[in-house]
Structure 1
Amino acid sequence: MSKAEWENNEEIQIFREYLRIPTVHPNIDYTDCVAFLKRQAASLDLPVDVVYPVNEENPVVIMKWVGTQPELPSIILNSHTDVVPVFPEKWSHDPFSADIDDEGRIYARGSQDMKCVGTQYLAAIRALKAKGYQPKRTFYLTFVPDEENGGFFGMREFIKGDYFKSLNVGLSLDEGSSTLDDSYYVYYAERTGWQIRFKISGQAGHGSILLPNTAGEKLNYIVGKMMGFRASQVQKLKDDPKLFFGDVTTVNLTVVTGGVQRNVVPPMLEVVFDLRIAIDVDLVAFEKQINDWCEEAGGGIEIIFEQQDEYVPPTKVDDSNPFWTAFENSLKELDVKYHTYVCPGNTDSRFLRSQGIPAFGFSPMKNTPILLHDHDEYLGADTYLEGIKVYTKILAAVGNV
C-alpha cells in the first residue's frame, strides 16, 4: 500500500485518532479517551458502561457484544488506555501526532503499548459483524487505566467489584509484545514482581576513621549478594539458548540513597531492587535467603517490600484448556509461527489469572523492533492491518468454544 492508501484506510484512521489522545502519565485526564471509546461503541452498535473502581480520575470503559448463549462464561478483550511518559526531544516525530512516513511507520506513544490492540479488537468485531457472525459467548471489551503504574487504580480494583463478578468471565485476552522475527509470542504466565527496599543502618562518624559495622559495608555485602544472584541468571540464559527472558529471575538495582556530607559516615543508606521472579522459584525459600543475607551483612537492616506479588499459577496451554485449543488452531489455520512463553514483564493478566481466569497475552506484531517505552515508538501500518485479520480469526474461534 502507498502512504495515501494507508492514510485513507478507515481502520488506520481510527487507530491514529486514538493515538493522538495524550493519555500519558503523570496526571492523566481520560475525558477525551472515554468520549472516543463511546463513539467507537456507538459505531459498532455495542452498549457501553463506564465504571470507577477507585475514583473519578480512573475510569474503566466496558463495551458488550452479546453472544447467542450468554449463559456461557464470557470473554474479556482487555487493553489499557494509559501510556508511559515521553521525552519529546528524543523523538523524530511528535509523540502524539501519529505521523505516518513513506514506509508506513506510524509514530506515537502507545502505538505498540498498547493502543494498537484496543482498536484491533474493535476492527475485528467490525469485520465479524460485517460477515454476519455472532459468537456463542458474550465478549466484553474492557479499556482500563493505570496499567503502566501497576494497575492498582485499574484492573486490580476492578476485579474486586460486583460489576466485574457479574461478567462471569471465562477467558481474558490482553497485551503481548512485538517480535523481531516472523513468529508471534503468546504469553501464558507472568513472573512474580517484587520491589524491595533495604534500609541499612550502621555506625556513623567521621570520614577519617575506619569505623566498624558501617552502613556502607553492609550495603556492599547486600549489593554483592543480589548482583551475584543476578549474574547467575545471566549465565543461565547463556548456558541454555532455548530459555526465554521470562524463564529466569531478573534482578536490577534501581535506587540508591543516603549520606549527608562527603566527610560524614552516614547512619543510614537505602537501596532498592526490582525483581521479576521466575515461576519455578520457591518464594518462601527465596525470601528466607534474602533475610539470611541481611543477617550475614551484620544485621540492622530493615526490609520493606514496596511490591510483593503472590505467585499466580500459569494458564494451561495444552488440550485440557479448550480456549487454548481454539486459539492455537486459529494460528495454525493462518499458517503462522508462534511460541508460548512466560511474559518477562507484568501486565493486567496477572490479576485475571489470580482469580483462576485463563489469560493469554498476545499482540500480533511480528518482524517489528521492540519499542515499548522507547523513543520513536512506532508500528507499521501493514503490520497493524495484518493483526486485525489475526484477531478476526481468533475471536471467531474462541467466541464459539
Structure 2
Amino acid sequence: MAQENPSVTRFREYIRIKSVQPDPDYNSCIEWVKEQAKEIGLEFDLIHFELQPGFAVVLTWKGSNPDLQALMLNSHMDVVPVNPSKWSHDPFDAIKDDDGKIFGRGTQDMKSVGVQHMEAVRNLKAQGYSPQRTVHITFVPDEEIGGTNGMAKFVETTEFKKLNVGFELDEGGPCPTEQFGLFYGERALWQIKVTIKGNTGHALNFVEGTSVEKLQKLMNGFLTLREKEKEKLSDGDVSRLGLVTTINITMINGGLQPNVIPPELTAVVDMRVTPNGWTEEKAEEIIEKIIEESGSDITYEFINRNPLIPETPINDENPWWRCFKRTCDELEMKLLPMICPGATDARFLRSKGIPAFGFSPMNYTPMLLHDNDEYLEEKIFLKGIDIFTKLVRNLTEESL
C-alpha cells in the first residue's frame, strides 16, 4: 500500500478533533495548531481578549520588509453539529474510502483550508523562499455561531492592529464544476420581529380590523417583494443568489384559544440584503412602507441587523485582485466571482476597510457544507495546497 501524503495525514488528524458546536474542543485544536507551527518554524501566539471571552491564534512568518502590509490567511476552528445516524461513516473518524474521498465534519467547512494555508507555507519554506511581506495564518472560534467571540472581537484589538493586515483570504465554498468560487462580498442578515395588534372578540362574529387581516396584508407585501427578487433568478443559477435580496417569513405566533379572535400576533421576517443595488436606507424604507400599508397598531424591532458592508473591488484598481487574478490565470483556473449568500468572518475585515476574498479551492466538489456525509477528495485537497503555495508566493512580493 502506498504511503499517505503527510499533508493528508495532518488534515485527517485535524478533522478528528471534535470542535463541534455547541461545545467545541478548542483546547485540542490550539495544541494541534501549536505543534504544526513548531514543525514549520512559525511564531505562535495565542491572544485572549481582555475582560472578554474569546481568542485568536496567530502564526507568523515574518517578511524581509516589515513595513509592507501583511497577508492574512484565516480559518475558523469550529464546525456545525452532526446527526451520526445520517452519515455513512463516523463524522469524526476522517475515513478515506477507496476513491480517495475523506469524510468528516469540517472537510469542506473549513478545516481543509486552515491546513492548506499551513501546508502552503511549509512548502515555500522548504523551497527556500523568503517573503517580503509578512504572512499571518490565523485561527478563530465561533464563526458558525456568528463570530461573536472570534473575529468580531479580534479586529477591535490592538493586537490585530499591530498585524498591519493589508489583505485577507477567508473561506469560500465548493463548486461542482471546473470553476473556483470567489466571494468578494456578502449579504447582510436582517431579521425583523413584527407585532400586530387588532380588534378581538368572539370568533362567531365578523370583527373588523383584526390582527389576522393585518397579518394577511403584511404577508402579501413581503411575499410580493419576495417574488420580484425571485424573478431575477429565473434561470435558477444559484451562484447569483448573492446578487438578490431573499425574503422569507419564518415564524408566526399568537392566539388565545380556538374561539377567540387573537388580539395580537407576531411574525418574524428573515431578509438577506444584497449590496448589489441595495442600501440600508432602501431596505428600511421598504419595510416601513409594507408595515404602513398593512394597517395601524403594527410595530417592529430588529432581532438582527448586520451592516451592509461594501464589496472588495474585483477590478484593476485593486492591486490584490490583480495579483490574485494573474496567479489564477497562470494556473489556468477559471474563477467564479460572487457575493456570498451567507456570512463569513471576512465581513469583519471588510468593515475595517481591509480587502478580503473568500476562497476555498474546491472545484469538481458537491456543496456539502453543513450537510450529511460531508467530504473532500484527497486529490482536490492536495491541488488546493499547490494553489495556495503559488498564491502566497505571489501575494507576498513587494510589488503586486
| The two structures share one fold, judged by TM-score above 0.5 | yes
Q: Equivalents in 2 of 1:195, 1:370: separation in Å?
A: 26
Report the 3-state secondary structure (helix = DSSP H, G, I; strand = E; otherwise coil) of the residue aligned with 1:238: coil
- Partner in structure 2 of residue 390 of structure 1: 387
Determine the C-alpha separation between the residues in 2 that align with 1:25 and 1:267.
39
CA contact (8 A) 2:55 2:149 kept: no
Please list, as runs of the form range in 1=range in 2, the aligned pairs for 1:2-401 lying within 5 A after superposition.
5=2, 8-53=4-49, 58-238=54-234, 244-279=240-275, 280-400=277-397, 401=400
CA contact (8 A) 1:29 1:57 kept: no
Cα deviation, 1:68-120, whole Å, max 9, x if unaligned, reads 11111111101111111112221111111111111111111111111110000
Shift of 1:19: 0.8
| 1:209-253 per-position Cα deviation (integer Å, ceiling 9, x unaligned) | 332222222222222211221111111111696971111111222
Contact residue 315 and residue 360 of structure 1 kept, 8 A = yes
Q: CA deviation at 1:62?
A: 0.9
1:293-339, Cα deviation, whole Å (9 max, x unpaired): 11211122221112112221111112211111111111111111112
Contact 1:172 1:358 in 2 (8 A): yes
Q: Residue deviations 1:149-192, cap 9 Å, x none?
A: 11122111111111111111100000111001001111111122
Q: Provide the secondary structure at the position in 2 that maps to 1:23.
A: coil
**Contact 2:273/2:308, CA 8 A, preserved across alignment:** no
The Cα of 1:261 is off from its aligned counterpart by 2.8
> Structure 1 stretch 375-384 or stretch 218-227: which is displaced more?
218-227
Q: Is the 8 A contact 2:107 2:375 kept in 1?
A: yes
Give the total of aligned pairs: 397
- 1: CA distance, partners of 2:253 / 2:132: 56
Query: Are 2:55 and 2:154, in contact at CA under 8 Å, matched by a contact in 1?
Result: no
Which string of whole-angstrom CA distances, capped at 9 and with x for unpartnered residues, describes residues 226-285 of structure 1? 122111111111169697111111122222322343333323322222211121113212
Give structure 1 stretches of 5+ with no counterpart.
Answer: none
Distance in 2 separating the partners of 1:398 and 1:167: 16
- Of 325-334 and 298-307, more deviation after overlay is shown by 298-307
2:39 & 2:255 partners in 1: Cα distance? 59
Structure 2 stretches lacking a partner, 5+ long: none
Q: CA RMSD in A?
A: 1.8
Q: For the Cα contact (< 8 Å) 1:54–1:157, is it kept in 2?
A: no
Take 2:44 and 2:259, find their aligned partners in 1: how far apart are those partners? Answer: 63
Alignment check: 8 A CA contact 2:49 2:153 kept: yes
State the AA in 1 paired with 2:394. A
Q: Where does structure 1 differ by over 4 angstroms across 4 or more consecutive aligned residues?
A: 54-57, 239-243
**Is the contact made by 1:30 and 1:59 (CA closer than 8 Å) also made in structure 2?**
no
| Aligned residues of 1:54 and 1:153 also touching (Cα < 8 A) | no
Change over 3 Å in CA distance of 1:381–1:57 after alignment to 2: farther
| SS in structure 1 of the partner of residue 338 of structure 2 | strand
**C-alpha distance in structure 1 between counterparts of 2:302 and 2:366, whole Å:** 34
Asked if the contact 1:53/1:154 (under 8 Å) is kept, the reply is: no
Contact 2:74 2:168 in 1 (8 A): yes
Change (3 A) 1:146 1:54: farther
Residues 352/294 of structure 1: CA separation in 2 closer, same or farther (3 Å cut): same
* Contact 2:117/2:388 (<8 A) preserved: yes
Secondary structure at 2:174's aligned position in 1? coil
**Cα distance change, pair 367–219 in 1 and its aligned pair in 2 (3 A):** same
CA 328–97 in structure 1, closer or farther in 2 if over 3 Å, else same: same
- The amino acid of 1:220's aligned partner reads Q
Please say if residues 54 and 154 of structure 1, whose CA atoms lie closer than 8 Å, have aligned partners that are also in contact: no
State TM-score, norm by structure 2.
Answer: 0.95
Q: Return the letter of the residue paired with 1:58.
A: G
Q: 1: distance between equivalents of 2:253 and 2:373?
A: 32
Sequence identity of aligned pairs in percent? 43
Q: Distance in 2 between matches of 1:273 and 1:218?
A: 15
CA 1:87–1:220 in structure 2 vs 1: closer, same or farther (change >3 Å)?
farther
**SS of equivalent to 2:38:** helix
TM-score with structure 1 length normalisation?
0.94
